[in-house]
C-alpha cells in the first residue's frame, strides 16, 4: 500500500484499501464454451479449479492477474464481468466505503465456501466483490506442499 500526501496538507494518508489479491470475474452464458475458449483456444494456464465437477469454476493465470470463469449469466442483459478484490478486513472496508457514499449492493456475509464477501458497484455499474479470506481457508494453502494422495 502506498502512502500519498494528504490533500491540502503535509501529512500522509494511509486509509486507502490494501488489495492483497485481485481477479476479473466472468459469468458466461455458456460455462463449458467459455472454459474451452480460455483453456483450449486462448491457451491460458489453470491456476485452480473449484466447485462441483459437473459445473466447475476455473481460475486462469492472466499475466500477473487472474481470470475466474464460473457461474452463469442470464445473457447479454446482465453484466457478466466483475472485479474481485481480496482485502485484509472486509468489515473495515464496508465501514469506510459506506462513509464515502459508495453504493453497497450487499453487506459483508460469510459464504458457505468460507469467504466473507461484500458487493459494491462503481459509478458505471460494474460490480466489485471485496473478499476476506480467513487464515485457515484452503485458498491460502499451497497444494504442492501437501503430501501426495495414494
- What is the CATH number for 109? 3.10.180.10
pLDDT band at 90 (very low <50, low <70, confident <90, very high): very high
Q: How many domains does the chain have?
A: 1
pLDDT at 19 over 80: yes
Neighbours of 17 (CB within 10 A): 15
Residue 11 inside a domain? The answer is: no
Task: Return the number of other C-beta atoms located less than 10 Å from residue 120's C-beta.
Answer: 20
**Residue 49: which of 129, 139, 137 has the closest Cα?**
139
Lowest-confidence region among 33-37, 58-62, 79-83? 79-83
Residue 80 maps to a domain: yes
139 in any annotated domain = no
Would you say residue 130 lies in a domain?
yes
pLDDT score recorded for residue 15? 73
Residue with cell 452464458: 29
The confidence score (pLDDT) of residue 85 equals 87
User: At which residue does the C-alpha cell 486507502 appear?
Assistant: 16
Residue 78 falls within a domain, yes or no? yes
Query: Per-residue pLDDT averaged across 43-47, rounded?
Result: 91
Its pTM stands at: 0.62
Q: Is residue 143 part of a domain?
A: no
Averaged pLDDT for residues 71-75: 75
Q: How far is CA 27 from CA 15, 74, 80, 144, in A?
A: 32, 9, 5, 28
- Domain residue limits at 104: 18-134
Residue 9's pLDDT band (cuts 50, 70, 90): very low
Tell me, yes or no, whether 94 lies in a domain: yes
pLDDT for residue 7 is more than 60? no
Pairwise pLDDT comparison (34 vs 144), residue with the higher score: 34
Checking if the pLDDT of 98 tops 80, the result is yes
Amino acid at each position: 500500500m502506498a502512502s500519498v500526501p494528504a490533500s491540502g496538507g503535509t501529512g500522509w494518508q494511509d486509509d486507502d484499501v490494501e488489495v492483497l489479491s485481485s481477479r476479473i470475474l466472468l459469468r458466461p452464458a455458456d460455462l463449458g464454451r467459455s472454459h474451452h475458449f480460455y483453456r483450449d483456444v486462448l491457451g491460458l494456464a489453470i491456476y485452480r479449479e473449484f466447485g462441483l465437477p459437473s459445473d466447475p469454476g476455473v481460475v486462469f493465470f492472466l499475466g500477473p492477474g487472474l481470470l475466474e470463469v464460473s457461474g452463469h449469466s442470464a445473457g447479454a442483459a446482465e453484466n457478466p464481468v466483475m472485479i474481485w478484490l481480496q482485502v485484509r478486513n472486509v468489515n473495515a472496508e464496508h465501514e469506510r466505503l459506506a462513509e464515502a457514499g459508495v453504493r453497497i449492493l450487499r453487506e459483508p456475509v460469510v459464504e458457505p465456501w468460507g469467504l466473507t464477501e461484500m458487493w459494491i458497484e462503481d459509478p458505471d455499474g460494474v460490480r466489485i466483490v471485496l473478499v476476506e479470506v480467513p487464515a485457515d481457508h484452503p485458498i491460502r494453502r499451497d497444494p504442492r506442499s501437501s503430501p501426495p494422495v495414494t
